[in-house]
Copies of this chain bind each other. A is one copy, B any other.
Amino acid sequence: MSIENPLILVTNDDGITAPGILTLIETAKKITNNIVVVAPDKPQSGMGHAITMNSMLRIVPAPIEGVKAFSCSGTPVDCVKIAMAKVLESKPDLIISGINHGSNSSINVIYSGTMSAAVEGAIEGIPSIGFSLCDHSIDADFIPATAYIERIIKFALANPMKKHTCWNVNFPALTSDLIRGIKVCRQANAVWEEEFDERHDPSGKPYYWLSGKFVNHEPNNEDTDEWALANGFVSIVPVQYDVTAYKSIDQLKELENEG
């Protein structure tokens, strides 16, 4: 029961001129000719679920062949919101975000603008998928990912996504022959251990650059996305935006009685 010529909204967080989004658009063209792109006019990595509340937004037509495209002055989440409200004439059948230059596996899902755009799609009731490649470089090779992306998009169009969820898809930086297939996973428990690079400006005042070291707390657990990627698989984690820690509710009940 796949959808004929589906309306697909494309966005990302690396900006509308990034090679990753251009590859994603080309891949989507194999499935539909009904594509609308609304993506940031500049890099918006690490913007998480930020929205623009204290300044105004612009959207400007962008010249991308064969699609209706706009650059937006806001965050990835702004792009989804303004696309839904001001650009699209009907609800899209699917929102795809990426291909991100760099991993959004594990805890990165929280910081990622790419994934936050997909989460925003889920909040608005649209099936949504974020795609990321574990390679930050501008000339990363996105081609091995494209066959998987096409397959995953077709699967999403044929199988209704569970309400209030989206998918987080990450690709290992490997050639096609070395990718071992798709693995459905949970988010690995990991953390970025902060390291701030302290420097001094010409007047001697300190300033800081955020860096950090990624530490996976469970490298041997085969059901995690980190394990899948480290072992040559494409990882898919279904993601929800209900962040209630249900298992903690009982502990807190005591607070209701006290006082």
* A interface residues with partner B (beta carbon < 8 Å): 43, 45-54, 56-59, 75, 77-78, 81-82, 84-86, 107, 109-111, 116, 119, 123-125, 151-152, 155, 159, 161-162, 164-165, 167, 181-184, 186-187, 189, 191, 194-196, 198-199, 205-210, 212, 236-249, 251-256, 258-259
B78 touches A210 (CB 8 A): yes
A259 to B233: give the CA distance in the assembly, Å: 14
Q: Which residues of B contact A57 (CB under 8 A)?
A: 196, 207-210
B59 touches A208 (CB 8 A): yes
Query: Which residue from B107, B151, B191, B194 sits with its C-beta under 8 Å from A258?
Result: B151
A182 to B194: give the CA distance in the assembly, Å: 35
A51-B210, A84-B194, A155-B255 known; 4 other A-B pairs, CB under 8 Å? A49-B49, A162-B251, A184-B256, A186-B242
B253 touches A184 (CB 8 A): yes
Q: How far is the CB of A23 from chain B (nearest CB, A)?
A: 19
Closest to A151 in B: B259
Q: Which residues of B contact A84 (CB under 8 A)?
A: 194
B245 touches A86 (CB 8 A): no
Closest to A55 in B: B209
A245 touches B251 (CB 8 A): no
Q: Which residues of B contact A162 (CB under 8 A)?
A: 245, 247-248, 251
Query: Which residue from B75, B82, B258 sits with its C-beta under 8 Å from A155?
Result: B258
Choose among A53, A152, A164 the residue with the greatest number of B CB atoms under 10 Å from its CB. Answer: A53
Q: How far is the CB of A136 from chain B (nearest CB, A)?
A: 11
